[in-house]
Amino acid sequence: MNAVLINIGDELLLGQVLNTNAQWLAQALLPIGGQVKEMRVIADDPNHLLEVLPQALSMADIVLLTGGLGPTRDDMTKEALARYFGVEMVFSQSCWAHMQTLFARFGKRLEAAHRVQCFVPANAELLPNKLGTAPGMWFEIDGKVVVALPGVPVEMRELMEQQVLPRLTAYFQPDAILSRTIGTVGVAESELARRLESFEQQLPPQLQLAYLPNLFEVQLRLTASGADQTYLRALLDEYTQRLKQLLGPEVVYSTQGETLPQALGQMLYRQGLTIATAESCTGGYVGHLLTSVPGASNYYLGGVVAYANHIKVNVLGVAMADLHAHGAVSEPVARQMAAGVRRLTGAVLSVATTGVAGPTGGTADKPVGTVWIAASLGSKTVAKKYVFGKRRMLNIEMSSVAALNTARLLLLELPS
């Protein structure tokens, strides 16, 4: 069951509004067997829609449109659809009655523009919009379906979940598509592909493996398709476990789509442990990732952003002699930062970062992107040097992910 998404709106093309609708729709279609073949963003121009719509229908079973259903002059999706289907615009009494009820509920006055909004293509089957004034519209043509939806995300999602997805499932009776996301960290995509070459060759025809690299991580997505969802879930369970055993817990941090901060937080919470952070080059980004997870207060005690050397010395207890001898970006300093924040907060586990984020400040022996990361737990402290790239924000983000993974790996050494 192939689909094309067409998102309509000048505001999308100008970058004034982020196109979250396309991402959400693609994810919503997948569980019912809908595979998006193309996404298009077009202007509020009915002639452009009339050019794009035939192309979309030539490659897809479903075309989903969002936007252009409102009461203003630039909302011309309905008129374009009427022209495409060769039908007249007719007044919908049910749409007008809904609008009267909605406005009365909020004590607002209906204007003439709102009545105009109730004119729809004669062949449209209206999908009542409980959250707004613009109804969705369902069209059938030569065994295919065109659905026009409001561009307002909350209204679009409500219509999709309550009406469109069930109707698409009943209309096409598609095979199910289920997926499982496995989080890996610390191993490059090319190396993962080498390790998994035999695994991929042995996959049954119902399964596919995809690689989604991002910063210091690679998400592996196992996708299963077929009619029997129970069988597909069993396949996903079996091959997820095979993949996890093949790569090992040092590489695989999650098998249910959790992020690395979530996975680390779950480990800490399950074991009743606490963590603190000492950051220089990352400027608090490690703490930000940890606290982006709801419930982080159960295990994250706090952190110190020790950007200046005198903060490293006076707050975290880094030895001035080591700063002079080795510099701030060094193994001894990273280790002492990790130990210092543990003493300061009483955390069981700590992690520290110090490096050259760039784009300036690098030297021959410590180029931009050089980072030392240390983690401390019990009587053990580990430290590792990384050399990333020359882009400042990328270095900060990759260092922070590497720091979380360093803490995770140290936790793995604890008895279960």
208-246 per-position pLDDT tens digit: 999 999 989 999 999 999 989 899 999 999 999 999 999
What CATH number does the domain containing 13 carry?
A: 3.40.980.10
Q: What is the pLDDT of residue 176?
A: 85
For residue 412, pLDDT beyond 80: yes
pLDDT digits (tens, 9 = 90+) for 16-33: 999 999 999 999 998 888
- Are 140 and 163 in the same domain? yes
Query: Mean pLDDT throughout 396-401?
Result: 97
For residue 251, pLDDT beyond 70: yes
Residues 6+ apart with CB under 8 A from 247: 184, 187, 192, 195, 196
Please state the domain count of the chain.
3
User: Tokens for 268?
Assistant: 């800490």
CA distances from 81 to 3, 22, 44, 115, 125 (A): 18, 20, 13, 19, 13
Confidence of residue 416 (pLDDT cuts 50, 70, 90): low
pLDDT digits (tens, 9 = 90+) for 268-294: 999 999 999 999 999 999 999 999 999
pLDDT digits (tens, 9 = 90+) for 122-147: 999 999 999 988 999 999 999 999 99
Omega of the bond leading into 359 within 30 degrees of 0 (cis): yes
For residue 332, pLDDT beyond 80: yes
**Crossing angle (nearest 10°) for helices 46-59 and 77-85:** 60
**Which range has the worst mean pLDDT, 70-79, 115-124, 277-286, 384-393?**
70-79
- Are 234 and 283 in the same domain? no
- Are 236 and 312 in the same domain? no
What CATH number does the domain containing 210 carry?
A: 3.30.70.2860
What CATH number does the domain containing 277 carry?
A: 3.90.950.20
For residue 112, pLDDT beyond 80: no
- Are 359 and 396 in the same domain? yes
Question: What CA dihedral angle connects 315, 321, 322 and 324, to 10 degrees?
Answer: 110
CA distances from 118 to 57, 285, 325 (A): 26, 50, 77
**Phi, psi dihedrals of residue 106, rounded to the nearest 5°:** -100, 10
Query: Mean pLDDT throughout 299-311?
Result: 98
Query: Mean pLDDT throughout 261-268?
Result: 98
Query: Computed from CA positions of residues 340, 343, 344, 346, in that sequence, does the dihedral angle turn out positive or negative?
Result: positive
Q: Kindly state the DSSP code that residue 8 receives in the 8-state scheme.
A: E
- Are 183 and 212 in the same domain? yes
| Domain-terminating residue out of 254, 289, 306 | 254
Q: What is the pLDDT of residue 86?
A: 96
Spatial distance between the Cα atoms of 221 and 49, rounded to a whole number of angstroms? 34
278 near 301, Cβ under 8 Å? no
For residue 156, pLDDT beyond 80: yes
| Domain-terminating residue out of 254, 283, 314 | 254
- Are 46 and 166 in the same domain? yes
Q: Mean pLDDT in the chain?
A: 95
For residue 185, pLDDT beyond 80: yes
- Are 229 and 85 in the same domain? no
- Are 8 and 107 in the same domain? yes
| Domain-terminating residue out of 254, 270, 298 | 254
- Are 143 and 199 in the same domain? no
- Are 198 and 329 in the same domain? no
Share of the chain above pLDDT 70, in %: 100
For residue 353, pLDDT beyond 80: yes
Place of tokens 């379906």: 145
Place of tokens 């030895």: 319
Q: What is the pLDDT of residue 304?
A: 98
Q: What is the pLDDT of residue 364?
A: 94
- Lay out the sheet containing 62-66: strands in order across: 35-42, 2-8, 62-66, 144-149, 136-141, 125-127
- Are 221 and 298 in the same domain? no
- Are 190 and 264 in the same domain? no
Residue range(s) defining the domain that contains residue 211: 176-254
